[in-house]
Amino acid sequence: NMATLEKLYKQVENIKAIAEENRQKENEAAVRIQSWFRGCQVRAYVSLLHKNATSIQKIWHGLTARALFRQRVKTAYFITKMNFYNKMAVKIQQRWRGYYVRKYVHDYYARKRYLEGLTRKNKHIRRDLEEVAELQWKERERITLEKQEKEKNIQAQRLHFLLSTKQCLGVFNLPFRTEPDETELRLRKVRPLLVRSGPFRPALEVQQQRHRPLEPSLHIITSITALEEQYEGLMHTSTPFEQVAYGTKHFREEHKEYLKGKKPFKTVFTTCHVFDKFGRLYSSAGNIV
Amino acid sequence: MSQRQVLQVFEQYQKARTQFVQTVADLAARPQNTETLQNSGVMSLLRPLLLDAVPTIQQTAALALGRLANYNDDLAEAVVKGDILPQLVYSLAEQNTQRFYKKAAAFVLRAVAKHSPELAQAVVDCGALDALVISLEEFDPGVKEAAAWAIGYIARHNAQLSQAVVDAGVVPLLVLCIQEPEIALKRVAASALSDIAKHSPELAQTVVDTGAIAHLAQMILNPDAKLKRQVFSALSQIAKHSVDVAEMVVEAEIFPAALVCLKDPDEYVQKNVATLIREISKHTPELSQIIVNVGGVAAVIDYLGDSRGNVRLPGIMMLGYVATHSENLAMAVIVSKGVPQLAICLEEEQEDHIKAATAWAFGQIGRHTPEHAKAVAVANVFPKLLNLYLDTESSEDLQVKAKKALKSILQKCTYLPALEPLLYEAPSNILKHIICQFSKVLPHDSKARRLFVTSGGLKKVQEIKAEPGSAIQEYINAINSCYPEEIVRYYSPGYSETLLERIDNYQPV
C-alpha cells in the first residue's frame, strides 16, 4: 500500500509534474482559445456596429449626394441656358454690328454709289470743259480769220486800181485762168478808198504837231529882268557891276532943271512914202522888228 | 557881250545836255553797251543831271539810270552808293513832280531793288516805301503801276522786306489798284500781292484781311492771259499757308470757274491753276473732297494729258496729295482714270524731279488697300519703278522715292501676275516684300499655285539664297509648304545632279 501509495503519489507527482510542464502550454492554449472566442464575439459586435454605421452613412451619403446632384443639375441647366442666351445674344449682336458698321462706319454700297456718281460727274465736267475749250478755240480762230479778212480787204481797197475792166483784164484775171483769182473777186466786192491826192502827212502826226506843247527855249523862259533879279555882287569888288543905266534906261543925260520952261521937241520931218506900205504887204519880213 | 550872246551859250549847253541824256538813255536800252557806259563813268555824269533845272532832262536821266541799273547788279550798287536814291525818293514824294518823272523814279527804284535782298534793303532804308505809298495814291495809272511794280520787287526777296512793305500800309492800296480798269495795273498789283503773301502765314493773313480774295476771284474769268497768271499765282501763294485761308479761297467760289482756265491756251495760266489746286488740296481731306466733288481731279488729269514738260509737275503733285489723305480719295483718283495718265507721264518725262514726283504719287495711290495696289499694278507700273530704282543715272531723290513707292505698294499688292516678272529682276530688299506677298496669297488659292509653278516662279524662288532664320527664308518655307515635297524637290537647283547620282548608286537587278 505504501508502495502503491508512493507509486500513486509518484504517479500523481509525475502527473503533476507533467501537468506542471504542460500547464504553461495548456494555459496559453486556453488563453488563446478564449481570446479567439472573445475576439469572435467582439468582432461580431464590431461588425454589427460597422454594418449599422455603414447603413447610417449610406443613407447620409445618399442624401448629400442627391442634394449635390440636384445642385449640379441646376447649375448645368443654368449653364446651358446661359450658353443658349449667349449664342442668341451673339447672333443679335452680329446683326447689330453688321448693320451699324454698314450704316455708320463704312457703307460699302454708299461708297459704290459715290464712286459711280463721281465717274458720271467727271464725265460731265470733262465734256463741259471740252465744250468750253472748243468754244474758246473757235472764238480765237474766228477772231484771227476776221483779222485776216480785214487785212485782205484793206489791201484790196488799196489795190483797187488793179481791178480788171472789159477792155483790159487785170493781173488777177489773166486769160489762161479758168476763173478769176480770189483777190480779183475781193477787188470787185470792196469799195475803193477815197484817197485824197497829194503827199499828205499822216493825221496823227499832224495832230501832234498842232497840239504840240510849248517848249520855250531858255532864252524865252528867262525873264527880261533876269540879270537884275539873280545877279549877286562879287564879294571882293567894290563896284556894283550892275547894268549901267545909261544905254538901257536912257541914252543921254537929261538935265531936268534946264528943261523947266521949255517945250518938247517937235518932229519936223514928214514920213516917206516908202514906209506907207510898211506892214501891209504880203511878206511878213518887215514885222520882225 | 550882249545879253543875247550870253543866253545863247546857256541854250547850247542845255541842248547838249538834252542830247547827251537822250543818247545815253537810248544806248542803255541795249545790254551790250552798258559795260562801255559803265567804264566811261556814266553814273557820275548822270547824277547831277537828276537835279537839272529842266524837267525833261531830269526824266530822261532817271530813265537812263533805271535802264542801266536794270541790266546788272554792279550798276545797281553804284546807284545805291552814289547816294542817288534819296533824291529820287524825295522827288517821288513831292506833289509837284510831273508824272513822267515819278514813273522814271519808280522805275529806278524797281531796277535797283530787283537784284538782291541787300539792295532792296538799301532802297527801303532810304525811305522809299513811304514815297511809293504816296505814289500809289496818285490818279495816274502809269505812276501807280510803276510804284506797285517797285513794291512787288522789294517784297519778293524775303519775309522782313515783305513785313516792311506791309507795315508801310501798302496792301489796302494794292487792293484798290486791283479794282482799277487798266489791265496792266491789275497785273502788276496782283503780282505784288502774290509776292507779299508768299513768305509767311501772317503776311498772307494780312493780305486776306483786306478782302483781296474776293477781288482776285472776280478776275479769274478775265480774257487777258498774263493777268490770269498773276491772279492764280497770288491765290495759290495765299492758299498755301494754312487751312483757314485755303478754306476762304475755296469759299470765294473759284470752282468750277478755275477748272475752265485749265484749258487756257497759255501754259503758265494752266500751271498756276494746277498749283492753286495743289495748294488747296494739300491741307485736309475735306478740302480735297471738295475739289474731287467738283470734278477737279478729272480736269487735272486731262490737263496732264494735254501738257508737256515742267508744267505737269503741280498736277502730278496734286494727285499725290489728294490720294494721300484717305483711301476713298485715292479710289476717286483711280476711278477718274488717273493711273494710266500718270503711267504715261512716267514714261514720257525725262526730268528726274518730275519722275520722282510721279513715283511718289503712285506710292500714295497704291498704298491703301489691295484694290488700289491692283489698280496700280495693272497699269504695268512696277517694272518702270524698278528700273528707276536700279538705274545708276537716276538722282538719289528719284531712287529713294521709287524704292519707297515700290515698297509701300508691294506690301498691299495681291495681284500675282504683276508680281511675277519682278521676281527675276528685283534686288533683295524688294524681293523680300514680293516673296512675302506670295507667301500670303498662295496658301489660299489653288489656281494661283498652279500658275506659279507653270510660270517658273517656284523655280526662281528655290534659287533664291537666303540666310536661315531670316524673314525671307520664312517666307520661302511658307511657300514651299504649300506644295507637295516632290514638286519642291523637283524644282530645287541641282535636282538633275542628285538624280544622276542616284543612277551611279543603283544596282540593276
CB-CB: which of B8, B265, B295 is closest to A121? B295
Percent of chain A exceeding pLDDT 70 equals 82
pLDDT at A227 over 70: no
pLDDT at A180: 85
CB-CB: which of B3, B11, B298 is closest to A125? B298
Residues of chain B whose beta carbon is less than 8 angstroms from a beta carbon of chain A are: 3-4, 7-8, 10-11, 14, 256, 259-260, 262-265, 292-295, 297-299, 302, 328, 331-332, 335-336
pLDDT digits (tens, 9 = 90+) for B250-292: 999 898 889 999 998 999 999 999 999 999 999 999 999 999 9
pLDDT at B492: 83
Cα–Cα dist B189/A63, whole Å: 105
Percent of chain A exceeding pLDDT 90 equals 40
Cβ neighbours, 10 Å, residue A228: 10
To probe the interface with B, which of A105, A108, A125 has the most B CB atoms within 10 Å?
A125
pLDDT at B430 over 50: yes
Contact flag A129-B7 (C-beta cutoff 8 Å): no
End-to-end CA distance of chain A: 238
Q: What is the distance in angstroms between the Cα of B321 and the nearest Cα belonging to chain A?
A: 18
Q: Find all residues with CB under 8 Å of B172, minimum gap 6, and list them.
A: B210
pLDDT at B464 over 90: no
Range B2-26 average pLDDT = 90
| Chain B residues touching residue A124 (CB < 8 angstroms) | 295
CB-CB: which of A122, A140, A217 is closest to B298? A122
pLDDT at B183 over 80: yes
CB-CB: which of B260, B264, B332 is closest to A118? B332
Contact flag A118-B265 (C-beta cutoff 8 Å): no
Q: How far is CA A131 from CA A135, A204, B305, in A?
A: 6, 44, 17
To probe the interface with B, which of A113, A114, A118 has the most B CB atoms within 10 Å?
A118
Size of interface A-B (CB pairs under 8 A): 61
Which cell goes with B259?
477748272
pLDDT at A289: 47
Q: What is the distance in angstroms between the Cα of A85 and the nearest Cα belonging to chain B?
A: 35
pLDDT at A242 over 60: yes
Q: What is the distance in angstroms between the Cα of A90 and the nearest Cα belonging to chain B?
A: 28
pLDDT digits (tens, 9 = 90+) for B92-102: 887 677 888 88
Q: Does A222 touch chain B (CB under 8 A)?
A: yes
Residue carrying C-alpha cell 529713294 = B400
> Would you put residue A247 in left (φ > 0), alpha (ψ -120 to 50) or beta?
left
pLDDT at A13: 81
The sign of the torsion formed by the CA atoms of B466, B469, B471, B477 equals positive
ipTM: 0.81
pLDDT at B218 over 80: yes
CB-CB: which of A122, A140, A219 is closest to B295? A122
Q: Does A223 touch chain B (CB under 8 A)?
A: no
Q: What is the distance in angstroms between the Cα of B470 and the nearest Cα belonging to chain A?
A: 38
Cβ(B146)–Cβ(B110) below 8 Å: yes
The residues that bridge with B208 in the sheet, in sequence order, are none
CA-nearest of B337, B255, B351, B326 to B302 is: B337
To the nearest whole number, what is the mean pLDDT of chain B? 90
pLDDT at A176: 86
Which cell goes with B380?
504695268
CB-CB: which of B11, B259, B265 is closest to A125? B259
pLDDT at B39 over 80: yes
Q: pLDDT grade, residue A277 (50/70/90)?
A: low
Output A101 or A247, whichever has higher pLDDT.
A101
Q: pLDDT grade, residue A199 (50/70/90)?
A: confident
Q: What is the distance in angstroms between the Cα of B150 and the nearest Cα belonging to chain A?
A: 30
End-to-end CA distance of chain B: 148
Lowest mean pLDDT among A5-9, A126-130, A269-273, B42-46: A269-273
Q: Which residues, numbered 224 to 243 in chain A, qualify as contacts with chain B under a Cβ-Cβ cut-off of 8 Å?
A: 227
Cα–Cα dist A170/A162, whole Å: 6
Contact flag B335-A119 (C-beta cutoff 8 Å): yes
pLDDT digits (tens, 9 = 90+) for B350-394: 899 999 999 999 999 999 999 999 999 999 999 999 989 988 888
Say how many residues make up chain A: 289
Q: How far is CA B154 from CA B157, B222, B418, in A?
A: 7, 27, 55
pLDDT at A244 over 80: no
Cβ(B234)–Cβ(B191) below 8 Å: yes
To the nearest whole number, what is the mean pLDDT of chain A? 84
Q: Does A122 touch chain B (CB under 8 A)?
A: yes
Overall pTM surpassing 0.90 (yes/no): no
**Hey, what amino acid is at B162?**
S
Cα–Cα dist A69/B226, whole Å: 97
